[in-house]
């Protein structure tokens, strides 16, 4: 969809629809993330903040990287989550420009560190999703953290 051509009212309607949806499975999250402007030629690291009823409060591309990695600052990521009013949990996602959804060892290590940090801050860490322009993989569904 070409969001630049939409009116302000149409954009507000889309945002309200996204915020009202209950994000109960990775496919719904991925559909919502795909509405962001992702540059699939380089890594984008996305934060999705949810309330206690699994509704999206915020989704944001937090970090941009190169063709094979994105430097993620854990402190900035978690600050964004904890400063969001009514935040209860988070989901993170990043794309692999290679077109492969298999997580790297760095992906797995980072995800475990993030899950541990969320426990300390009493934030539900719900999932880490790897996506490509055509596919996605939930690290939670694959028991990788």
Which of 35, 38, 48 shows the shortest CA–CA distance to 1? 35
Boundaries of every domain in the chain: 3-138
The answer, as to whether pTM is greater than 0.85, is no
Structure tokens at 55: 């509704």
Task: Residue 103: count other Cβ atoms within 10 Å of its Cβ.
Answer: 20
pLDDT digits 0-9 by tens, 28-40: 888 888 888 888 9
Structure tokens at 81: 């989550």
- 3 state SS of 24: coil
pLDDT digits 0-9 by tens, 58-78: 999 999 988 887 889 999 999
Asked if residues 53 and 80 have their Cβ atoms less than 8 Å apart, the reply is no
Fold classification of 3-138 is: Cytidine Deaminase; domain 2 (3.40.140)
Separation CA 90–CA 118 (nearest Å): 9
Question: Residue 58: in which H helix or E strand, if any?
Answer: strand 56-64
Separation CA 131–CA 113 (nearest Å): 20
Ranges of the chain with pLDDT below 70: 1-4, 11-24
């Amino acid at each position: 969809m070409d969001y630049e051509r939409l009116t302000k009212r149409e954009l507000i309607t889309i945002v309200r629809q996204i915020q009202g949806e209950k994000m109960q499975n990775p496919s719904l999250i991925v559909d919502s993330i795909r509405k962001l402007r992702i540059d699939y030629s380089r890594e984008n690291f996305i934060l999705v903040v949810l309330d206690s009823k699994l509704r999206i409060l915020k989704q944001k591309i937090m970090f941009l990287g190169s063709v094979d990695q994105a430097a993620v600052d854990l402190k900035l990521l978690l600050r964004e989550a904890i400063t969001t009013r009514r935040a209860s949990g988070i989901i993170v996602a990043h794309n692999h420009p290679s077109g492969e959804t298999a997580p790297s060892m760095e992906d797995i290590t980072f995800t475990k560190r993030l899950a541990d940090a969320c426990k300390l801050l009493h934030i539900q860490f719900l999932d880490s999703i790897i996506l490509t322009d055509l596919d996605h993989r939930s690290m939670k569904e694959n028991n990788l953290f």
